Amino acid sequence: MREFGYERAFDVSGAVALLGSDPEARFLGGGTNLVDLMKAGVERPALLVDVRDLPLGGVEFTDGGGLRFGATVTNSDLAAHPEVRRRCPALAQSLLAGASGQLRNMATVGGNLLQRTRCGYFTDINKPCNKRSPGSGCPAVEGEHHNHAILGASAHCIATHPSDMAVALAAFDAVISYETADGPGELPISEFYPPVGDTPHIETALPPGALITAVTLPPSPVTAHSRYRKVRERASYAFAIGSIAAALDVRDGVVREVRLALGAVASRPWRARTAERVLIGGPASAEAFAAAADAELAAAEPLAENGYKVTLMRNLVVAVLTELTEEGSR
């Protein structure tokens, strides 16, 4: 591991200034991904700016019933928060589905959003990887890719985004607030993760040196009737091979409102807007759910070894929307 300096920041402007003092500096949150990648040589910061002690650890309500939580709230505190569980169960479930009890205690909201892909070629510095080393190639396209993207990928990179939390945030239109040396800004999550295109090394739309300060979930009653389901290759403590965050409001058998996002299928959490459009105003039936899933997945471009994900995601959409419909009618 490369040697590095360490500074602890106690206020947001101080943290941003410290980061700006060194082009090779990185913010350190829980460190569960960054420290691991430093050991592997993938990340080689010259300076770590520890942001764990910043006053960004609150969960509060916004006018009209939204939720706002700070960037240093741990994954476990957010998952356990009664109002998160009441107003947006899918968000709590997505957090609980991620990593282990130990890692959730360490990991922060900001770090969760910025975590890197677990593609085996990205994490092995002896392999080419367009994300880690632009222009070097993507061995996954012809190689080991059974858990890679089926939607929105490019020939340059087929890696998936690993976050569970971000899938729920994508379904519920979260807004990410940040601070820079030039002042604050915000990005809707739909713009936070840019399409992969030919720039897989550019993973977020954050300006250089920006510090994530908070995430806001806008008021939306439908999120109280939501669910996150994750499929993995073992019962617990593994990254998803497919996941879904969904919220559904059905009245008299008709879909009044629906939110749908898919995980582990693309370089970013995949908001299923095509499926949502097909569903709105239509019947809440298994056939309609399947038709909506098919409409979304028509754009899928599976590779030799990950075609199962198309079937998996279709079945997940039908299963979770059916469950939400049955729960809602009780």
Partner 1 sequence: MTPSTSSAITLNINGEKYTLPVDHRTTLLDALRERLDLTGSKKGCDQGQCGACTVLLDGRRAVSCLQLAVAAEGREITTIEGVADGERLHPMQQAFLDLDGFQCGYCTPGQICSAIAVIEEHAAGWPSAATDDVRPEAGVPALDAEEIRERMSGNLCRCGAYVSIVQAIAQAAEAAGTQAKEAAA
Chain residues that interact with partner 1, rule: CB under 8 A: 1, 3-8, 22, 28, 30-32, 35-36, 38-39, 46-48, 50, 52, 76, 79-80, 82, 85-86, 89, 92-93, 96-97, 99-103, 105-106, 230, 235-237
Nearer to partner 1 among residue 32 and residue 267 (C-beta): 32
CB of 195 to partner 1, least distance (A): 30
Nearer to partner 1 among residue 89 and residue 200 (C-beta): 89
Burial 234-250 (b: 16+ CB within 10 A, else e): eeeeebbbbbbbbbbbb
CB of 137 to partner 1, least distance (A): 26
CB of 61 to partner 1, least distance (A): 15
d(CA 283, CA 173): 24
Nearer to partner 1 among residue 161 and residue 230 (C-beta): 230
Please tell me what DSSP assigns to residue 116.
P
d(CA 4, CA 117): 23
Count of residues in the chain: 330
**Cβ-Cβ contacts under 8 Å for 182 (sequence gap 6 or more):** 207
Nearest to 109 by CA among 131, 86, 81, 132: 81
CB of 132 to partner 1, least distance (A): 17
CB of 108 to partner 1, least distance (A): 12
Question: Are the beta carbons of 109 and 68 closer than 8 angstroms?
Answer: no
Strand residue runs (E) in 194-280? 211-217, 226-231, 242-251, 254-263, 270-271
Strand residue runs (E) in 269-330? 270-271
Nearer to partner 1 among residue 30 and residue 269 (C-beta): 30
CB of 193 to partner 1, least distance (A): 24
Nearest to 299 by CA among 325, 273, 319: 273
Q: Two tokens at 30?
A: 């829980």
CB of 44 to partner 1, least distance (A): 12
Nearer to partner 1 among residue 201 and residue 232 (C-beta): 232
Nearest to 270 by CA among 167, 173, 145, 165: 167
d(CA 28, CA 43): 12
CB of 282 to partner 1, least distance (A): 28
Nearer to partner 1 among residue 50 and residue 257 (C-beta): 50
Nearer to partner 1 among residue 61 and residue 237 (C-beta): 237
3-class DSSP assignment, residue 69? strand
Backbone angles phi, psi at 51, to 5 degrees: -105, 10
Nearer to partner 1 among residue 1 and residue 286 (C-beta): 1
